Chain A
Amino acid sequence: MKQPIKLKGCIAILAAAGFAAVAHADPDEDQLTVNGEIEMVTEVDAPAHMENLDTIYSGWRFRSDETQAFQMDDFDNPAMIFVEAAAETWDIADGFEGKSCSSCHNDIESMAGVRAVYPKWSETAGEVRTLEHQINDCRENRMGAEKWKYTGGDMAAMVGLISSVSRGLPINVAIDGPAQETWEKGKEIYYTRYGQLELSCANCHEDSYGMMIRADHLSQGQINGFPTYRLKNTKLNSVHARFKGCVRDTRAHTFKPGGPEFIALELYVASRANGLSVEGPSVRN
Protein backbone atom coordinates (compact mmCIF):
# COMPACT_ATOMS: atom_id res chain seq x y z
CA MET A 1 0.00 0.00 0.00
CA LYS A 2 2.81 2.34 0.85
CA GLN A 3 4.60 2.34 -2.46
CA PRO A 4 1.86 3.64 -4.74
CA ILE A 5 1.13 6.52 -2.39
CA LYS A 6 4.77 7.53 -2.43
CA LEU A 7 4.84 7.39 -6.22
CA LYS A 8 1.76 9.56 -6.44
CA GLY A 9 3.44 12.13 -4.24
CA CYS A 10 6.44 12.22 -6.55
CA ILE A 11 4.32 12.85 -9.61
CA ALA A 12 2.47 15.64 -7.85
CA ILE A 13 5.73 17.37 -6.95
CA LEU A 14 7.03 17.04 -10.49
CA ALA A 15 3.82 18.43 -11.90
CA ALA A 16 3.88 21.35 -9.48
CA ALA A 17 7.49 22.14 -10.36
CA GLY A 18 6.68 22.03 -14.08
CA PHE A 19 3.76 24.38 -13.64
CA ALA A 20 5.76 26.88 -11.62
CA ALA A 21 8.44 27.04 -14.30
CA VAL A 22 6.33 27.54 -17.42
CA ALA A 23 2.74 28.29 -16.65
CA HIS A 24 2.38 31.42 -14.57
CA ALA A 25 -0.40 33.76 -15.54
CA ASP A 26 -0.85 36.18 -12.68
CA PRO A 27 -3.47 38.94 -12.73
CA ASP A 28 -2.46 41.87 -14.93
CA GLU A 29 -2.36 45.53 -13.89
CA ASP A 30 -5.27 46.81 -16.00
CA GLN A 31 -8.01 49.07 -14.63
CA LEU A 32 -11.64 48.32 -15.42
CA THR A 33 -13.91 51.24 -16.27
CA VAL A 34 -17.20 50.44 -17.99
CA ASN A 35 -18.68 52.91 -20.50
CA GLY A 36 -16.02 55.39 -19.39
CA GLU A 37 -17.97 56.05 -16.20
CA ILE A 38 -18.38 53.04 -13.91
CA GLU A 39 -15.11 52.56 -12.01
CA MET A 40 -14.71 48.95 -10.89
CA VAL A 41 -12.66 47.70 -7.95
CA THR A 42 -10.90 44.61 -9.30
CA GLU A 43 -8.31 44.23 -6.54
CA VAL A 44 -8.79 44.73 -2.82
CA ASP A 45 -7.66 43.36 0.55
CA ALA A 46 -9.28 40.01 1.27
CA PRO A 47 -12.21 40.06 3.72
CA ALA A 48 -11.24 39.27 7.34
CA HIS A 49 -12.77 35.79 7.26
CA MET A 50 -10.39 34.56 4.55
CA GLU A 51 -7.39 32.84 6.08
CA ASN A 52 -5.29 31.89 3.07
CA LEU A 53 -5.35 34.91 0.74
CA ASP A 54 -4.26 38.50 1.35
CA THR A 55 -5.61 40.09 -1.82
CA ILE A 56 -8.66 39.25 -3.90
CA TYR A 57 -8.86 39.85 -7.64
CA SER A 58 -11.76 39.94 -10.06
CA GLY A 59 -11.60 37.30 -12.78
CA TRP A 60 -11.49 40.18 -15.28
CA ARG A 61 -7.84 40.76 -14.37
CA PHE A 62 -6.93 37.27 -15.55
CA ARG A 63 -8.33 37.71 -19.05
CA SER A 64 -6.58 38.82 -22.24
CA ASP A 65 -6.82 42.48 -23.30
CA GLU A 66 -9.25 41.56 -26.08
CA THR A 67 -11.66 39.79 -23.74
CA GLN A 68 -11.32 42.58 -21.19
CA ALA A 69 -12.26 45.15 -23.85
CA PHE A 70 -15.60 43.42 -24.47
CA GLN A 71 -16.71 44.29 -20.97
CA MET A 72 -15.57 47.91 -21.01
CA ASP A 73 -18.36 49.11 -23.28
CA ASP A 74 -21.99 48.02 -23.10
CA PHE A 75 -22.28 48.12 -26.87
CA ASP A 76 -19.45 45.63 -27.23
CA ASN A 77 -20.60 43.45 -24.31
CA PRO A 78 -22.61 40.62 -25.90
CA ALA A 79 -24.36 40.00 -22.57
CA MET A 80 -26.23 43.27 -23.04
CA ILE A 81 -28.38 41.73 -25.79
CA PHE A 82 -29.80 39.40 -23.15
CA VAL A 83 -30.07 42.20 -20.62
CA GLU A 84 -32.04 44.34 -23.06
CA ALA A 85 -34.41 41.46 -23.71
CA ALA A 86 -34.90 41.10 -19.95
CA ALA A 87 -35.58 44.83 -19.69
CA GLU A 88 -38.54 44.27 -22.01
CA THR A 89 -39.68 41.25 -19.98
CA TRP A 90 -39.52 43.47 -16.87
CA ASP A 91 -42.53 45.44 -18.13
CA ILE A 92 -44.56 42.57 -19.61
CA ALA A 93 -47.36 41.16 -17.46
CA ASP A 94 -47.25 37.41 -16.99
CA GLY A 95 -49.38 34.97 -14.99
CA PHE A 96 -52.98 35.08 -13.82
CA GLU A 97 -52.45 38.08 -11.51
CA GLY A 98 -51.80 40.20 -14.59
CA LYS A 99 -48.68 41.70 -13.08
CA SER A 100 -45.23 42.41 -14.45
CA CYS A 101 -42.03 42.93 -12.46
CA SER A 102 -42.51 46.68 -12.79
CA SER A 103 -46.03 46.50 -11.27
CA CYS A 104 -44.38 46.17 -7.85
CA HIS A 105 -40.76 47.19 -8.36
CA ASN A 106 -41.32 50.16 -10.70
CA ASP A 107 -38.25 51.13 -12.65
CA ILE A 108 -35.37 48.64 -12.89
CA GLU A 109 -33.13 51.34 -11.37
CA SER A 110 -34.94 50.73 -8.08
CA MET A 111 -33.11 47.39 -7.89
CA ALA A 112 -29.71 49.12 -7.55
CA GLY A 113 -27.80 47.50 -4.71
CA VAL A 114 -29.82 44.29 -4.67
CA ARG A 115 -27.30 42.08 -6.49
CA ALA A 116 -24.55 43.19 -4.07
CA VAL A 117 -26.18 41.65 -0.98
CA TYR A 118 -27.38 38.32 -2.41
CA PRO A 119 -27.50 35.47 -1.41
CA LYS A 120 -29.29 36.77 1.66
CA TRP A 121 -31.23 35.45 4.65
CA SER A 122 -34.96 35.65 4.06
CA GLU A 123 -36.93 36.25 7.26
CA THR A 124 -40.21 35.13 5.72
CA ALA A 125 -38.79 31.96 4.16
CA GLY A 126 -36.52 31.16 7.10
CA GLU A 127 -33.64 30.28 4.79
CA VAL A 128 -30.89 31.80 2.71
CA ARG A 129 -32.22 32.78 -0.69
CA THR A 130 -30.47 33.52 -3.95
CA LEU A 131 -31.64 36.15 -6.42
CA GLU A 132 -32.95 33.35 -8.64
CA HIS A 133 -35.13 32.05 -5.80
CA GLN A 134 -36.54 35.51 -5.15
CA ILE A 135 -37.35 35.96 -8.83
CA ASN A 136 -39.15 32.63 -8.94
CA ASP A 137 -40.91 33.43 -5.65
CA CYS A 138 -42.20 36.64 -7.24
CA ARG A 139 -43.26 34.80 -10.37
CA GLU A 140 -45.05 32.03 -8.53
CA ASN A 141 -46.63 33.83 -5.58
CA ARG A 142 -47.10 37.42 -6.71
CA MET A 143 -47.58 37.07 -10.46
CA GLY A 144 -49.15 33.62 -10.60
CA ALA A 145 -46.76 32.73 -13.40
CA GLU A 146 -44.75 29.65 -14.23
CA LYS A 147 -41.43 29.35 -12.46
CA TRP A 148 -38.37 29.74 -14.66
CA LYS A 149 -35.74 27.04 -14.91
CA TYR A 150 -33.07 27.88 -12.34
CA THR A 151 -30.18 28.09 -14.81
CA GLY A 152 -32.29 28.81 -17.91
CA GLY A 153 -31.94 31.68 -20.35
CA ASP A 154 -34.86 33.77 -19.08
CA MET A 155 -33.57 33.52 -15.54
CA ALA A 156 -29.95 34.32 -16.39
CA ALA A 157 -31.07 37.34 -18.42
CA MET A 158 -33.26 38.67 -15.59
CA VAL A 159 -30.46 38.20 -13.03
CA GLY A 160 -28.18 39.96 -15.53
CA LEU A 161 -30.59 42.89 -15.77
CA ILE A 162 -30.90 43.19 -11.98
CA SER A 163 -27.15 42.88 -11.61
CA SER A 164 -26.43 45.49 -14.29
CA VAL A 165 -27.96 48.31 -12.22
CA SER A 166 -25.67 47.44 -9.28
CA ARG A 167 -22.47 47.57 -11.29
CA GLY A 168 -19.67 49.35 -9.47
CA LEU A 169 -21.17 48.81 -6.02
CA PRO A 170 -19.14 46.63 -3.64
CA ILE A 171 -20.26 43.06 -2.97
CA ASN A 172 -21.38 42.96 0.63
CA VAL A 173 -23.11 39.72 1.62
CA ALA A 174 -23.88 39.13 5.30
CA ILE A 175 -22.31 36.00 6.76
CA ASP A 176 -23.25 36.42 10.40
CA GLY A 177 -26.55 36.11 12.27
CA PRO A 178 -29.04 33.67 10.78
CA ALA A 179 -26.96 33.21 7.60
CA GLN A 180 -23.92 31.94 9.50
CA GLU A 181 -24.94 28.30 9.56
CA THR A 182 -25.43 28.23 5.78
CA TRP A 183 -22.19 30.13 5.26
CA GLU A 184 -20.24 27.57 7.30
CA LYS A 185 -21.79 24.76 5.30
CA GLY A 186 -20.69 26.53 2.13
CA LYS A 187 -17.17 26.93 3.46
CA GLU A 188 -17.03 23.22 4.23
CA ILE A 189 -18.08 22.41 0.65
CA TYR A 190 -15.47 24.83 -0.70
CA TYR A 191 -12.68 22.98 1.09
CA THR A 192 -13.99 19.43 0.51
CA ARG A 193 -12.34 17.37 -2.24
CA TYR A 194 -14.88 15.91 -4.67
CA GLY A 195 -14.81 13.46 -7.53
CA GLN A 196 -12.35 10.98 -8.92
CA LEU A 197 -9.81 13.77 -9.27
CA GLU A 198 -10.25 14.62 -5.58
CA LEU A 199 -10.28 18.36 -6.12
CA SER A 200 -11.79 21.00 -3.88
CA CYS A 201 -12.66 24.51 -5.06
CA ALA A 202 -9.66 25.71 -3.05
CA ASN A 203 -7.17 23.46 -4.85
CA CYS A 204 -7.63 25.42 -8.06
CA HIS A 205 -8.96 28.81 -7.04
CA GLU A 206 -7.00 29.40 -3.84
CA ASP A 207 -3.83 27.30 -4.12
CA SER A 208 -3.30 27.61 -7.85
CA TYR A 209 -4.86 30.82 -9.15
CA GLY A 210 -2.57 32.59 -11.58
CA MET A 211 -1.54 29.29 -13.16
CA MET A 212 -2.85 27.68 -16.31
CA ILE A 213 -5.48 24.96 -16.33
CA ARG A 214 -4.92 23.44 -19.72
CA ALA A 215 -5.17 26.44 -22.07
CA ASP A 216 -7.01 28.73 -19.71
CA HIS A 217 -6.04 31.00 -16.83
CA LEU A 218 -7.09 29.99 -13.35
CA SER A 219 -8.68 32.91 -11.56
CA GLN A 220 -9.68 33.08 -7.93
CA GLY A 221 -13.13 31.89 -8.90
CA GLN A 222 -14.83 35.11 -7.79
CA ILE A 223 -18.51 35.37 -8.68
CA ASN A 224 -18.83 39.17 -8.69
CA GLY A 225 -19.11 39.08 -12.49
CA PHE A 226 -22.07 36.69 -12.73
CA PRO A 227 -24.10 36.12 -14.72
CA THR A 228 -21.24 35.82 -17.16
CA TYR A 229 -21.28 35.83 -20.95
CA ARG A 230 -18.80 33.13 -21.93
CA LEU A 231 -17.14 33.24 -25.32
CA LYS A 232 -17.08 29.45 -25.31
CA ASN A 233 -20.85 29.03 -25.27
CA THR A 234 -22.07 32.49 -26.39
CA LYS A 235 -24.72 32.84 -23.70
CA LEU A 236 -25.24 34.10 -20.19
CA ASN A 237 -24.12 31.58 -17.58
CA SER A 238 -25.47 31.51 -14.05
CA VAL A 239 -23.43 30.91 -10.92
CA HIS A 240 -24.90 27.48 -10.23
CA ALA A 241 -24.34 26.35 -13.81
CA ARG A 242 -20.68 27.29 -13.40
CA PHE A 243 -20.50 25.46 -10.05
CA LYS A 244 -22.02 22.43 -11.68
CA GLY A 245 -19.46 22.57 -14.49
CA CYS A 246 -16.60 22.78 -12.02
CA VAL A 247 -17.81 19.89 -9.87
CA ARG A 248 -18.45 17.82 -13.01
CA ASP A 249 -14.88 18.50 -14.12
CA THR A 250 -13.62 16.85 -10.93
CA ARG A 251 -15.49 13.77 -12.23
CA ALA A 252 -17.99 13.88 -9.38
CA HIS A 253 -21.76 13.64 -9.26
CA THR A 254 -22.71 17.30 -9.02
CA PHE A 255 -25.18 18.97 -6.73
CA LYS A 256 -28.44 20.28 -8.12
CA PRO A 257 -28.52 23.88 -9.35
CA GLY A 258 -30.78 25.78 -6.97
CA GLY A 259 -30.33 23.11 -4.30
CA PRO A 260 -29.23 23.67 -0.69
CA GLU A 261 -25.57 22.73 -1.27
CA PHE A 262 -25.06 25.23 -4.08
CA ILE A 263 -26.97 27.95 -2.19
CA ALA A 264 -24.56 27.50 0.73
CA LEU A 265 -21.59 27.46 -1.64
CA GLU A 266 -22.81 30.57 -3.44
CA LEU A 267 -23.13 32.44 -0.14
CA TYR A 268 -19.62 31.41 0.87
CA VAL A 269 -18.03 32.17 -2.50
CA ALA A 270 -19.88 35.50 -2.70
CA SER A 271 -18.50 36.40 0.74
CA ARG A 272 -14.99 35.79 -0.59
CA ALA A 273 -15.63 38.66 -3.01
CA ASN A 274 -16.83 41.13 -0.36
CA GLY A 275 -15.24 44.41 -1.38
CA LEU A 276 -14.96 43.74 -5.14
CA SER A 277 -17.38 45.56 -7.44
CA VAL A 278 -20.48 43.95 -8.87
CA GLU A 279 -19.51 43.41 -12.53
CA GLY A 280 -22.33 41.24 -13.79
CA PRO A 281 -23.01 40.76 -16.59
CA SER A 282 -19.32 40.29 -17.30
CA VAL A 283 -17.48 38.73 -20.25
CA ARG A 284 -15.13 35.80 -19.71
CA ASN A 285 -13.64 32.96 -21.71
Chain B
Amino acid sequence: MASGVKPRVKVPKSAAAGDTITIKTLISHKMESGQRKDDDGNLIPRSIINRFTCEFNGEMVIDVTLEPAISTNPYFQFDALVPEAGEFKFTWYDDDGSVYDTAKKIAVS
Protein backbone atom coordinates (compact mmCIF):
# COMPACT_ATOMS: atom_id res chain seq x y z
CA MET B 1 0.00 0.00 0.00
CA ALA B 2 1.25 3.44 -0.91
CA SER B 3 2.02 5.51 2.17
CA GLY B 4 0.28 8.69 3.28
CA VAL B 5 -2.94 7.97 1.41
CA LYS B 6 -5.85 9.81 2.91
CA PRO B 7 -9.21 10.51 1.26
CA ARG B 8 -11.03 13.77 1.92
CA VAL B 9 -14.47 14.85 0.79
CA LYS B 10 -16.62 17.89 1.28
CA VAL B 11 -20.39 17.49 0.98
CA PRO B 12 -23.00 19.93 2.34
CA LYS B 13 -24.74 18.57 5.44
CA SER B 14 -28.18 19.26 4.01
CA ALA B 15 -29.93 20.34 0.82
CA ALA B 16 -33.47 20.87 -0.47
CA ALA B 17 -34.89 17.84 -2.35
CA GLY B 18 -34.08 18.18 -6.05
CA ASP B 19 -31.20 20.56 -5.37
CA THR B 20 -27.90 20.34 -7.18
CA ILE B 21 -24.96 20.37 -4.80
CA THR B 22 -21.24 20.72 -5.36
CA ILE B 23 -19.01 17.94 -4.06
CA LYS B 24 -15.26 18.31 -3.65
CA THR B 25 -12.95 15.34 -3.20
CA LEU B 26 -9.22 14.92 -2.84
CA ILE B 27 -7.07 11.94 -2.07
CA SER B 28 -3.48 12.40 -1.03
CA HIS B 29 -1.51 10.01 -3.23
CA LYS B 30 1.88 10.28 -4.87
CA MET B 31 0.57 9.15 -8.32
CA GLU B 32 3.86 7.68 -9.48
CA SER B 33 3.57 7.65 -13.27
CA GLY B 34 5.82 4.68 -14.06
CA GLN B 35 7.82 6.85 -16.47
CA ARG B 36 10.40 8.15 -14.02
CA LYS B 37 13.75 6.63 -13.18
CA ASP B 38 15.51 6.53 -9.83
CA ASP B 39 19.11 7.62 -9.20
CA ASP B 40 20.42 4.27 -10.45
CA GLY B 41 18.50 4.51 -13.73
CA ASN B 42 15.92 1.89 -12.84
CA LEU B 43 12.30 2.53 -13.70
CA ILE B 44 10.18 3.44 -10.67
CA PRO B 45 7.12 1.18 -10.94
CA ARG B 46 3.79 2.81 -11.68
CA SER B 47 1.64 3.38 -8.61
CA ILE B 48 -1.48 5.43 -9.17
CA ILE B 49 -5.13 5.66 -8.25
CA ASN B 50 -6.69 4.19 -11.40
CA ARG B 51 -10.39 4.59 -10.68
CA PHE B 52 -12.62 6.86 -8.63
CA THR B 53 -16.32 6.40 -8.09
CA CYS B 54 -19.09 8.18 -6.24
CA GLU B 55 -22.40 6.50 -5.47
CA PHE B 56 -25.56 7.91 -3.93
CA ASN B 57 -27.79 5.39 -2.17
CA GLY B 58 -26.31 2.65 -4.37
CA GLU B 59 -26.74 4.57 -7.64
CA MET B 60 -23.61 5.54 -9.55
CA VAL B 61 -23.07 9.32 -9.71
CA ILE B 62 -19.67 9.41 -11.33
CA ASP B 63 -17.16 6.76 -12.40
CA VAL B 64 -13.75 8.05 -13.42
CA THR B 65 -10.78 6.30 -14.99
CA LEU B 66 -7.52 7.92 -13.99
CA GLU B 67 -4.41 7.81 -16.17
CA PRO B 68 -0.72 8.06 -15.23
CA ALA B 69 -0.40 11.69 -16.35
CA ILE B 70 -2.63 12.88 -13.50
CA SER B 71 -0.72 14.76 -10.81
CA THR B 72 -0.12 14.04 -7.17
CA ASN B 73 -3.15 14.35 -4.86
CA PRO B 74 -5.94 14.04 -7.46
CA TYR B 75 -8.79 16.46 -6.84
CA PHE B 76 -12.29 16.13 -8.26
CA GLN B 77 -15.09 18.63 -8.03
CA PHE B 78 -18.49 17.78 -9.49
CA ASP B 79 -22.18 18.52 -9.10
CA ALA B 80 -24.78 15.99 -8.03
CA LEU B 81 -28.57 16.04 -7.83
CA VAL B 82 -30.02 15.20 -4.42
CA PRO B 83 -33.52 13.69 -4.85
CA GLU B 84 -33.80 12.43 -1.27
CA ALA B 85 -31.87 12.09 1.98
CA GLY B 86 -29.14 9.52 1.87
CA GLU B 87 -25.46 8.77 1.74
CA PHE B 88 -22.75 9.52 -0.76
CA LYS B 89 -20.14 6.78 -0.94
CA PHE B 90 -16.74 7.59 -2.42
CA THR B 91 -14.25 4.92 -3.51
CA TRP B 92 -10.71 5.15 -4.83
CA TYR B 93 -8.94 2.12 -6.38
CA ASP B 94 -5.16 1.88 -6.11
CA ASP B 95 -2.88 0.06 -8.60
CA ASP B 96 -1.66 -2.13 -5.75
CA GLY B 97 -5.18 -3.43 -5.12
CA SER B 98 -5.89 -1.23 -2.14
CA VAL B 99 -9.34 0.33 -2.00
CA TYR B 100 -9.94 3.47 0.00
CA ASP B 101 -13.45 4.61 0.77
CA THR B 102 -15.34 7.15 2.76
CA ALA B 103 -18.99 8.16 3.03
CA LYS B 104 -20.97 11.29 3.84
CA LYS B 105 -24.62 11.54 4.83
CA ILE B 106 -26.82 14.31 3.54
CA ALA B 107 -30.16 15.39 5.01
CA VAL B 108 -33.03 16.87 3.03
CA SER B 109 -34.58 19.94 4.53
Contact A75 B4 (CB under 8 A): no
B36 interface residue per 8 A CB criterion: no
A181 interface residue per 8 A CB criterion: no
Q: How many residues of B contact A (CB 8 A)?
A: 8
A109 interface residue per 8 A CB criterion: no
Residues of A within 8 A of B10 (CB): 75
**Nearest CB on A from B105, distance (A):** 18
**Nearest CB on A from B100, distance (A):** 15
Mark interface residues in B1-12 (1 if CB within 8 Å of A CB, else 0).
000101010100
Residues of B within 8 A of A75 (CB): 8, 10, 24, 26
Contact B28 A81 (CB under 8 A): yes
Interface centre among A75, A78, A84, A85 (most CB of B within 10 A): A75
Contact B24 A81 (CB under 8 A): no
Interface of B is mostly: strand
Mark interface residues in A46-76 (1 if CB within 8 Å of B CB, else 0).
0000000000000000000000000000011
Task: Evaluate whether A85 and B8 lie within 8 angstroms (CB atoms) in the complex, with A75-B24, A75-B26 already known.
Answer: no
Contact A85 B4 (CB under 8 A): yes
B73 interface residue per 8 A CB criterion: yes
Give the complex CA separation of A75 and B75 in angstroms. Answer: 10
Contact A84 B24 (CB under 8 A): no
Give the complex CA separation of A85 and B24 in angstroms. Answer: 20
Contact B6 A84 (CB under 8 A): yes
**Nearest CB on B from A221, distance (A):** 29
**Nearest CB on B from A182, distance (A):** 38
Give the complex CA separation of A84 and B4 in angstroms. Answer: 11
Residues of B within 8 A of A76 (CB): 24
Mark interface residues in A78-95 (1 if CB within 8 Å of B CB, else 0).
100100110000000000
Residues of B within 8 A of A85 (CB): 4
Give the complex CA separation of A166 and B50 in angstroms. Answer: 38
Give the complex CA separation of A81 and B26 in angstroms. Answer: 10
Mark interface residues in A174-218 (1 if CB within 8 Å of B CB, else 0).
000000000000000000000000000000000000000000000
- Which parts of B1-42 form the interface with A (CB within 8 Å)? 4, 6, 8, 10, 24, 26, 28
Mark interface residues in B36-79 (1 if CB within 8 Å of A CB, else 0).
00000000000000000000000000000000000001000000
Give the complex CA separation of A70 and B24 in angstroms. Answer: 13
Give the complex CA separation of A228 and B8 in angstroms. Answer: 21
**Nearest CB on A from B23, distance (A):** 11
Residues of A within 8 A of B6 (CB): 84
Residues of B within 8 A of A78 (CB): 73
* Residues in chain A within 8 A of chain B (CB atoms): 75-76, 78, 81, 84-85
A75-B8, A81-B28, A85-B4 known; 8 new pairs, CB 8 Å cut-off, are A75-B10, A75-B24, A75-B26, A76-B24, A78-B73, A81-B26, A81-B73, A84-B6
